[in-house]
Amino acid sequence: MCANARPRILMCSPEYFGVEYVINPWMADQTGKVRPREAMSQWSALYDALSPLADITCIAPSPHQPDMVFTANAGMVFGDRFVPSRFRHQERAGEEAHFACWAEHAAYAITPLPDDVFFEGAGDALYDRGRPVLWLGYGFRTGLPAASALRDIVEPSGLSVQPLRLVDPRFYHLDTCFCPISGGRLLYYPPAFDPESVRRIEGAVPEDQRLAVSEEDAEAFACNAVCLNGAIVMNRATSGLKARLGEWGLRCVETPLGEFMRAGGAARCLTLRLDEPEPVAA
Ligand code: ARG
């Protein structure tokens, strides 16, 4: 994990993407409504926005896995280890074998969690970019028992696992309402968390380092952002949010992802960072 290496990302082309079942509120009434050409062009635009910032690898899409495009949910990378997801919903369980096979070929050491533990990878497990903390969203997809299983993996390297309970079904994965940014900064949508979790976040991250987004920005998936080298790539942001991000020296890149929001995902969900944890500047 050399500090100067280019970031690496995994994506999956949306050839077989669609809404074919309903496992989150965004998918309700969207079955069969995805426009495949529009989805492909939105995904390609995201790819083009990210490719100057990172080296992108693509996993082959699979015909019966319409949500496989959301590679954030493949698992969690920890150095040379890959902790595979165990999906809460049977609808996505078929993706597990594809992602495990990819990770093996990519020479990761597969480190599974116990059989009965639900875990949805980097959708729920996000590394802080300024402190040795792995934030873990739980409640809708990942279960709380994943916290102690992940502690066994990351604590020997000096990282703590901080569980955050998600309470708003629209924000069912941590990456839909929480985005760690370099230097230990944070975008978050406080109402997505229970009061104790909000206290936990606000106790760890000083006020001038966190930005609570409005409901309007949260609903446009502004927290579901990919932050790389001073750019923050997302579906959409209000002018107020863009101005705040600008004060932090971040260039906001908007790339519309409406077809993917029908399935409840946007920029961050469509990527998996492969060089984690990112080296934290001293
Ligand atoms: N339809 C997918 C699901 O409900 C969307 C996943 C979005 N991924 C994410 N990392 N938030 O599982």
State yes or no: pLDDT of 152 exceeds 70.
yes
pTM for this model (two decimals):
0.97
Number of Cβ within 10 Å of residue 3's Cβ equals 9
User: How far is the CA of 256 from the CAs of 236, 242, 271, in angstroms?
Assistant: 7, 15, 15
Structure confidence by residue, pLDDT tens digits, 82-112: 999 999 999 999 999 999 999 999 999 999 9
Tell me how long the chain is.
282
- C-beta separation of 46 from 270 below 8 A: yes
Which has the closest alpha carbon to 110: 140, 77, 141, 133? 77
Stretch 54-61: mean pLDDT, rounded? 98
Tell me, yes or no, if 173 is annotated catalytic. Answer: yes
Residue 20, both tokens: 């074919």
Structure confidence by residue, pLDDT tens digits, 246-259: 999 999 999 999 99
Looking at ligand 1, which atom is closest to the CA of residue 175? Answer: 11
In percent, how much of the chain has pLDDT > 90?
Answer: 96
State yes or no: pLDDT of 137 exceeds 90.
yes
Please give the distance, rounded to the nearest whole angstrom, from the Cα atom of residue 186 to the centre of ligand 1. Answer: 21
Scored b (16 or more CB within 10 A) or e, 207-242 reads eeebbbbeeebbbbbbbbbbbbeebbbbbbbeeebb
Looking at ligand 1, which atom is closest to the CA of residue 269? Answer: 10
CA 65 – CA 62 distance, rounded (Å) = 6
> In the prediction, which pLDDT does 279 show?
67
CA 30 – CA 168 distance, rounded (Å) = 20
- C-beta separation of 224 from 248 below 8 A: no
CA 127 – CA 125 distance, rounded (Å) = 7
> In the prediction, which pLDDT does 3 show?
53
List, in order, residues 6 or more apart from 152 with CB less than 8 Å away.
none
Residues with CB under 6 A from ligand 1: 23-24, 27, 67, 70, 72-73, 92, 123, 173, 175-176, 263-265, 269
Stretch 25-43: mean pLDDT, rounded? 98
State yes or no: pLDDT of 62 exceeds 70.
yes
Structure confidence by residue, pLDDT tens digits, 194-242: 999 999 999 999 999 999 999 999 999 999 999 999 999 999 999 999 9
